[in-house]
Amino acid sequence: MKHEMKFVRHQHVSQLFHNKFIVVMGDSIQRSVYKDLVKLLQKDDYLYVTQLKRKGEISFEQDCLVEGGCLSCMNNGTAYREVRQYQSPHHLVRFYFLTNIYSNYMKSIMEDFRHGLKPDLVIVNSCLWDISRYDLKWVDGYKVNLKSFFEELLGILPEESLVLWNLTMPLGSCIRGGFLVPEISHKEAQLRDDVIEANFYSGVLAEAFKVDVLDLHFHFRFFLQHRTRDGIHWNALAHRRISTLLSLHAAEAWGVELPINSLVDSSVGHHLPGLESARSVVRPPINNRLPYPPRDGYINFEVHAPPDRHENAAYHMPYAHHCSLRNDYNGPNPYVMKTRHARYQYMPYTLHRPNPHD
C-alpha cells in the first residue's frame, strides 16, 4: 500500500496562527518541530539537514537564542538548556528544551506563563530523556511527573488555551548518536518497548486531564524510511508532515476549515533542500482563496514588551479570551485525533482601528 505525505501551505498556516502565541516544549525532535513551524510561517521551503542537526545556535531563520545553547555550556547532559524565540508582527513562537517533564526548571517555565503572556497553543512531549536518564525503574516516577505537569499547566493556562501532547515517534532497532551517552548504552535494546509503554501511560493520563493527544507513533508507522540513521531523529519531510498534522488539529479545534484540496504532495519538489540539493522546492501556484480573510488591523508584537526574566525574550500584551477548546474523546482510537465540536476562531491580539465617522 502506498502512503503519500500531504503538506499544508505556508499561506494557510500563516493565517491559521495569525496573532497566536505558540509554545513548543521537549527534546531535540520537538526542537525540529519548532524549527519547521518557524520556517513554514515564513515560506514553503523544507529544513536543511544542517538545520535539523544543529542545536543551540545564535539564530535560526530570524529567530533568536534567548537562553542556554551556545550562550552557555554545550553538552549532552540533563542540565542542558535551550530557549529559542521567533517573533514577527503576526506570530510569536517559543521553544523550551526539556530533559524532564517536571523539574525545578519546568517550574520556572510555569512561572513564565503565570506572570507573563499565556500561550494560545502549547505543543509538548517529553519521554526519551525521562525514561532513560534518571531511573532504571522509570514508570512510577514518569507517571507522577506527568500528573504534576498537567495539573500545574492546566491550573495556570486559561481554558481557552489549547494544549497538545505529542506521543513519541517510533525508535529504530539500532540507536546511536549524541543522545545515547555511554552511561545508558545498555538500555538501547529495550528503549523501543519502553517508548511504547510510556506512550500508553502519557496518552491515558492526558485523556484523563482532557488534554489533546496527537499520536505521532501511529501516524509515522508507515513512514519509517524518513527516520535518520541514528534511529531517533527524522528528516525534513517527516517534520513538514508533523507541522501539517499539528496545523490540521489546531484548525479543527478552533473551528477553522483548512482547504484539504490545497495540501501539497511531497513529490511536487524534485529536490529536497538540504538532502540532495540546496535548491528551493518548486511549488505550484496557489489559486485557492483563503477560508478566512486577512485582518486589516492588529497590535504589533514588537510593541508593549514589558521586561522578562529572560534577558533577550519579549513578552508582549495581555491575553484576550476566545472560545473554549476542551472536548471529549470519540471513536475507537482516541489517541489519533479527537472528534470535536465546531469552535469559532477569534484573534486575541487583533485590535480593529476605530471608525473616524462614528
- Residue 175 pLDDT > 90, yes or no? no
C-alpha cell at 338: 479527537
Tell me the pLDDT tens digit for each residue of 111-169.
Answer: 999 999 999 999 999 999 999 988 878 999 999 999 999 999 999 999 999 999 999 99
User: Whole-prediction pTM value?
Assistant: 0.77
- Rounded distance between C-alpha atoms, residue 301 and residue 315, angstroms: 9
Sheet bearing 82-87, strands edge to edge: 64-68, 82-87, 91-97, 20-26, 121-124, 162-167, 212-215
The CA dihedral of 65, 85, 149, 13, to the nearest 10 degrees, is: -140
- Rounded distance between C-alpha atoms, residue 108 and residue 110, angstroms: 5
CA atoms within 13 A on the CB side of 256: 23
Domain boundaries, the chain: 6-268
CA distances (Å), 308 to each of 20, 259, 345, in order?
A: 19, 38, 29
pLDDT at 20: 97
- Residue 355 pLDDT > 90, yes or no? no
- Residue 316 pLDDT > 70, yes or no? no
Q: How many Å is the Cα radius of gyration of the chain?
A: 20
- Residue 238 pLDDT > 80, yes or no? yes
pLDDT at 267: 57
CATH topology of domain 6-268: Rossmann fold (3.40.50)
- Residue 343 pLDDT > 70, yes or no? no
pLDDT band at 264 (very low <50, low <70, confident <90, very high): confident
pLDDT band at 263 (very low <50, low <70, confident <90, very high): confident
> Who has greater pLDDT, 35 or 340?
35
DSSP β-bridge partners for residue 68: 82
